[in-house]
Amino acid sequence: MIATLTGVIAEVDPSGVVIVETAGVGYEVTMTASAAASVTIGETARLRIHHHIREDAQTLFGFIDPAERAAFRILIATHGVGPALGLAILGVHRPADLVDHVAQNNTAALTAVPGVGPKTAERLIVELRNRLSLPDIGTVNTATGVTADVRAALEQLGYSSAEVNNALAVLPSDLDASGALRAALGYLAGSDA
């Protein structure tokens, strides 16, 4: 399985498909349109890859942010969400925003994604809440509970213990669980750049 790909950006299509050349081979990588717009032709980029294998095709999905790849993997493991819908969701909502929308049961935000109606949004919120190990926001009111819940959510997203400890060390103590998780994801995204 391909986990990362480092090479020169040879082509960028506005639809989100980029060609990354490395060792004389051009790899077609599908990204969100905003991520594809952030890479520059002729420059070297390091992409985190989700190598999606089906019976009839192999597709590389590329992400600049490790939190995006983790969120993508959680999304496509959710019933009824394929890679196209997973990318569409991440094209509209950053991972930290997605966590916030799920924590707040914000179905309206999810229906802003093309192809997601109200019933699908409700189902996604229920399933993602379980997959993201989100706390019940109304019941978490101690710093220890917030820290434990943020730790569990970050570990569920695939971050190492060291990364989680570093993120928790810089969190303000006055945040609720969803705010603390957003802040931790923001810190981790910035520290990986």
Residues 70 and 164 in one domain: yes
Residues 155 and 72 in one domain: yes
Cβ atoms of 164 and 137 within 8 Å: the answer is: no
Low-confidence ranges of the chain (pLDDT < 50): 134-144, 193
Q: What pLDDT, on the 0 to 100 scale, is given for residue 135?
A: 42
Q: What pLDDT, on the 0 to 100 scale, is given for residue 53?
A: 92
DSSP 139: G
How many folded domains does the chain comprise?
A: 2
* Beta-bridge mates of residue 45: 7
Q: What pLDDT, on the 0 to 100 scale, is given for residue 136?
A: 39
State how far Cα 185 lies from the chain centre.
Answer: 10
**What is the rounded CA–CA span in Å between residue 157 and residue 133?**
9
Residues 178 and 135 in one domain: yes
Which residue, of 63, 83, 105, is where some domain finishes?
63
Q: Which domain holds residue 56?
A: 4-63
Which residue, of 41, 63, 85, is where some domain finishes?
63
Residues 77 and 155 in one domain: yes
Q: What pLDDT, on the 0 to 100 scale, is given for residue 192?
A: 57
Q: What pLDDT, on the 0 to 100 scale, is given for residue 82?
A: 92
Of 154, 187, 176, 162, the residue nearest 70 (C-alpha): 154
Residues 18 and 74 in one domain: no
Kindly report the CATH number assigned to the domain that includes residue 153: 1.10.150.20
Which residue, of 63, 83, 102, is where some domain finishes?
63
* Beta-bridge mates of residue 58: 53
